[in-house]
Amino acid sequence: MTMDLSPVNLREFERAARDRLDPVYYDYFAGGAQDEHTVRANESAFAAIELVPRILRGAEDPEPATSLLGCPSAMPVLLAPTAFHRIAHPEAELATVRAAARADVIMTVAMLSTVAVERIAEEARGVLDGTDPKLWFQLYVQPDQEFTRALVQRAESAGCRALVVTVDSAALGRHERNDRNDFHQLPEDVQCENLRGLGGSDSGNVRRVTLSPEISWQHIEKLREMTRLPIVLKGVLHPADARLAVRNGVDAIVVSNHGGRQLDTTPATIAQLPVLADAVSGRIPLLLDGGVRRGTDVVKALALGADAVALGRPIVWGLAADGEAGVAKVLELMRSELENALALCGVSAPKELSRDLVALRKENSRSREVQA
């Protein structure tokens, strides 16, 4: 169903999605762990950062194109891995990937997607006239090494260009909204298709995912032996872990707190970004997700050291609101806002952004601290 009046920003898409979604499913996507402090902080922390634009710089028209791990993208905005698109819209990940392909941006396919990665890649190739799509694959490393290997091989065979390994999930965060709604099982017609027939299971069987605290750097080493694809660690917040990632040959990291869905009261990702950027010191790409809702948010993240950001919930809101057209509009709005913010900051490309263009608002004070 096409909307009569299209939302004009990403937050309006959330309201449109809420009107269309089953309230139980809305709570699943919108909710976070326990008191949801981190969910709220991810967004509010961006408001505590101000932009300090330069003027009269004779800049060219903004061009936001970039490249990540050898994969070109029309802008430094990716689609973060989000599970269960079919409960947001009947066309599920197929609608999402068509919009991503037409926008020429990278989509990270969730391990728990409701369409198999091969089918997602095929759909994208149809949009791109046979050209290989810009897909990454998100992975929860499993204690069963052969299960992990089978997933990796499936992603490689589908043409995925990187593995995004979620590392903040030693256990499942407690979502009290789901508890109140008694939502702990997918509808019978919704399955995690990437897990079907893997690791020696029957071809019709869907394997269950195991989240385990035993996953360690040794598992990342074993993963490196399984694949030549770049390995991206998603869920890094501590600078010591960022340095270990570099030391262990990881290709990129995502500053992420899982959208506030795992450990509540962790820091907002944008607040933690500068210390992780200092720890990495440009040796590997640094991405960020969590709370990005405006083009100005993207500019702030890039100025503070990120190479790109990823959108999670806003993509789901677009999908729920209007299918492929909704996702396409979300990406169109983000690109338009990003180009506008770049121009108003006096820069023409993301690489020109630097810390001197942001200031941190001090509470109860009109003074500003400009980042050196």
| Structure-block tokens of residue 207 | 């394997």
Report which of 31, 206, 181 is spatially closest to residue 113, judged by C-alpha positions: 206
Whether 37 is catalytic: no
* E strands, the chain, in order: 49-51, 66-68, 71-73, 77-79, 107-109, 135-139, 163-166, 231-236, 252-255, 286-289, 308-311, 358-361, 368-370
| Structure-block tokens of residue 367 | 């003074």
Distance, CA of 283 to CA of 196 (rounded, Å): 37
Among 85, 89, 219, 258, which one carries the catalytic annotation? 258
Task: Specify which residues 136 forms β-bridges with.
Answer: 108
DSSP string, 205-259: -BPPP---TT--HHHHHHHHHH--S-EEEEEE-SHHHHHHHHHTT-SEEEE--GG
Is 2 buried (19+), middle (13-18) or exposed (0-12) by CB count in 10 A? exposed
Tell me if 81 sits within 8 A of 58, measured CB to CB. no
Give the distance between the most distant pair of CA atoms in the chain.
65
Tell me if 35 sits within 8 A of 353, measured CB to CB. no
Distances in Å between the Cα of 352 and the Cα atoms of 63, 271, 343, 345, 363 are 11, 21, 11, 10, 29
Q: How far is residue 92 CA from its own chain's centroid? A: 17
Residues with catalytic function? 258
